[in-house]
Structure 1
Amino acid sequence: MKIAPQKLKTGDTVGVIAPASPPVAEKLDAAVQYLKKLGLRVKIGRASGKKHGYLAGTDEERLRDFHDMFQDPSVKAVICACGGYGTGRIAEKIDFDVIKSHPKIFWGYSDITFLHMAIQKRTNLITFHGPMLSSDIGKEDVHPLTKQSFQQLFQKMSLTLTEDVSPLEAVVKGKAKGELIGGNLALLVTTLGTPFEIDTRGKLLFIEDIDEEPYKIDRMLNHLKMAGKLSDAAGILLCDFHDCIPKKRSESLTLKEIIEDYIVPEGKPALSGFQIGHSSPNIAIPIGAEGMLDTEKKQLMIEPGVS
């Protein structure tokens, strides 16, 4: 049975952490002001202001912030400042009993995908794949729907994603339901063979990525296919693949051709075009919540991620 974290209310404190790379200070400051406008208090992890190469502090410092925010009873949600790289380095050191004992909202995407998979594997907590502070909300021109995604944290609301947000295309026709699982394709592949390997059995798999050339998307989808992750899924959601165009190689397959090579033969209901991930807008969705995919209606319905 999945555990839905408690929704937020005005006056609640949220913890901000940087479990991967360091955030841009000015953009983080701007995003914190947005959280305060939502009526929230903000506690910022100590590693958020540190730099250790391409990491926001040492592994120990980033891990300490993660544990501290979950253990602190005054903190009602843990929101990641940005992605980059580094969450896989701390995953094995996480005390998952701390999360089980203090279930609360956990929010982020991109490199945070590894932490989502770890939490899904070791706890029953629903987490949120959603826009982050420094890398999204702190930008000067933020899409209104990106900001609106945070309303999911304040009310028990179902989502219905349709072509009202972006054009959708039925890759494989049909209906499918199941828990949502997925995130950044490159990070999902890195979980294979680890204790936190993605489990797609009977679930709706969603994938997205950024700045990966088509041949790399090909390689990663082939890896998922050979690992049985595509055939195990009940349905597949193809989200934003931002700037995934040929760069090194002038001759290339298109993303559409790659999808036809890997997704179509599986015969699982599949829709493409969702603005989830490195996109604008960046629509947040609850990982672990039940979803219903209908390619004829071109819609994805998702149950609430909070209680």
Structure 2
Amino acid sequence: MKVRKIGIVSLSSGMLGEAFVAHERELGLRRLQELGLEVVYLPNALKGLDYLDQHPEARAEDLLAAFSDPSLDLILCAIGGLDSYRLLPALFAEQQLEQALTPKIFLGFSDTTINHLMLQKLGLPSFYGQAFLPDICELAPEMLPYTRSYFETLVQTGKIEEIRPSSLWYQERTDFSLAGLGQSMPSYPNQGFLHLQGPATFKGPILGGCLESLYEILAGDRFPDQAQLCQDYQLFPSLEDWSGKILLLETSEEKANPAKFARMLSRLKDYGLFEVVSGLLFGKPQDQAYMEDYSALRYKQYVLY
């Protein structure tokens, strides 16, 4: 399946519609068009932070419209955020998403984990990967080579057959203003895959996403209604759904300290995940923050055994 037309949605943060990212938005749009792609913004995608915060149903309307549009080959999320769970009633109360669902590529990461679980609940595979603002709109002179390689493969073939580590890791950008346009981020040699424990070879379908998002579905520490709403709509996969899967995890830009990291993994352990999955694949933390602490034996013993 070759992608010809992309629909961009803002399912969490409404940042894409703000004036302060106009230069990023224009850059990303041009890059997609240079790849020969037709791009449309769903009707509410550019309505900004305040509107989309106050109207989660508008975000849900865009997702339903995108899946209902037979001309769209790929749905690309603008960026992550905090509260995609608020879309649940507008997508599931009357089986709205199930009725709109048609096979197409869905791509995003971070808080988009929530949307990936919605699709998994309905049996539609999705791709945990690039988002528009952080990746396609990266202010460096070109898209980062690793990002571009996998994105181009996806739009040209509709699939990703193998994931290899990047040869470099990049220090997070701090200046997203117009002054940062054309400025590259510092980069450093990457170590590649690090085998931490257990069998070095394991297999299974991949399921997971952002650790903070998965934790909040169960704990609801950030929003008082989140855990109950997610439970009402049975968003978190059952142990049967997790059985034999490779659990994919990454931490967010919040850079959780080691104590919170252990607490979040412990919540997944208490749910029973580590007893049924075939393996754990963990993304390098942003800027390698707490990397040694995260992988230290004392935390693995505390959390996983």
Asked if these proteins are the same fold (TM beyond 0.5), I'd say: yes
Q: Say which SS state the counterpart of residue 284 (structure 2) adopts.
A: strand
Give yes or no for the alignment of 1:205 onto 2:247. Answer: yes
Structure 1 match to 2:281: 237
Structure 1 segments unaligned to the other structure (5+ residues): 1-6, 247-252, 266-307
Q: Say which SS state the counterpart of residue 196 (structure 2) adopts.
A: strand
Q: Say which SS state the counterpart of residue 206 (structure 1) adopts.
A: strand
* CA distance in structure 2 between the partners assigned to 1:51 and 1:229 by the alignment: 37
Judging changes above 3 Å, is the alpha-carbon distance between structure 1 residues 62 and 129 closer, same or farther for their aligned structure 2 residues?
same
The size of the alignment, in residue pairs, is: 249
**Larger fraction in helix:** 2
Q: Say which SS state the counterpart of residue 113 (structure 2) adopts.
A: helix
Residues 213-292 of structure 1: pairs in structure 2 closer than 5 A: 213-243=257-287, 245=289, 254-257=293-296, 259-262=299-302, 265=305
Residues 1-307 of structure 1: pairs in structure 2 closer than 5 A: 7-9=1-3, 12-22=4-14, 23=16, 24-53=21-50, 55=52, 58-94=55-91, 95-100=96-101, 102-121=102-121, 123-141=122-140, 142-150=143-151, 151-155=153-157, 156-161=159-164, 166-167=190-191, 168-174=193-199, 175-192=201-218, 194=231, 195-198=234-237, 199-210=241-252, 211=254, 212-243=256-287, 245=289, 254-257=293-296, 259-262=299-302, 265=305
Instruction: Return the offset for 1:8.
Output: 2.4
**Larger fraction in strand:** 1
Judging changes above 3 Å, is the alpha-carbon distance between structure 1 residues 113 and 56 closer, same or farther for their aligned structure 2 residues?
same
Structure 2 segments unaligned to the other structure (5+ residues): 169-189, 219-226
Instruction: Return the offset for 1:132.
Output: 0.9
TM-score by length of 1: 0.74
* CA distance in structure 2 between the partners assigned to 1:214 and 1:19 by the alignment: 29
Instruction: Return the offset for 1:259.
Output: 4.3
Q: Say which SS state the counterpart of residue 39 (structure 2) adopts.
A: strand
Is the contact made by 2:269 and 2:304 (CA closer than 8 Å) also made in structure 1?
no
* CA distance in structure 1 between the partners assigned to 2:24 and 2:32 by the alignment: 13
* CA distance in structure 2 between the partners assigned to 1:202 and 1:262 by the alignment: 23
Instruction: Return the offset for 1:157.
Output: 4.7
Is the contact made by 1:205 and 1:233 (CA closer than 8 Å) also made in structure 2?
yes
* CA distance in structure 1 between the partners assigned to 2:2 and 2:161 by the alignment: 16
RMSD, aligned α-carbons: 2.3
Instruction: Return the offset for 1:244.
Output: 7.2
TM-score by length of 2: 0.74
* CA distance in structure 1 between the partners assigned to 2:45 and 2:22 by the alignment: 9
Is the contact made by 1:87 and 1:111 (CA closer than 8 Å) also made in structure 2?
yes
CA shift digits 1:79-103 (9 cap, x unpaired): 0011112311103321232354x11
* CA distance in structure 1 between the partners assigned to 2:236 and 2:74 by the alignment: 25
Q: Say which SS state the counterpart of residue 196 (structure 1) adopts.
A: coil
Identity of counterpart residues, as a percentage? 27
Amino acid at match of 1:215: A
Instruction: Return the offset for 1:260.
Output: 2.1
Judging changes above 3 Å, is the alpha-carbon distance between structure 1 residues 163 and 65 closer, same or farther for their aligned structure 2 residues?
closer
